[in-house]
Amino acid sequence: TMRGKKLLLWIFLAALLLIRPPRLVALFILLQAAMPPITSLPIVAGRANADHALSTRLLLASFIAAIVTVPLAVAGFDLFFN
């Protein structure tokens, strides 16, 4: 769910604050955590006889949410790592 993804982003940010890797490494880790899921998910769902249409809609919703959540994650990163 969206709440779970946001919570996971803040957990990653907190972990980065505790570990304190170099700024560029921390930014890379945060961006990897913030990215939407793999785009081949609907293909995998189709091969597993799962609901292909539902997986496509969820993937689209994830990309739309990323328009908001990725900049928020980077802004939170800048607050703590600058």
> HEC states along the chain?
CHHHHHHHHHHHHHHHHHHCCCHHHHHHHHHHHHCCCCCCHHHHHHHCCCCHHHHHHHHHHHHHHHHHHHHHHHHHHHHHHC
Q: Whole-angstrom Cα distance, residue 40 to residue 67?
A: 20
pLDDT at position 58? 85
pLDDT at position 6? 73
Low-confidence ranges of the chain (pLDDT < 70): 1-3, 5, 37
pLDDT at position 2? 62
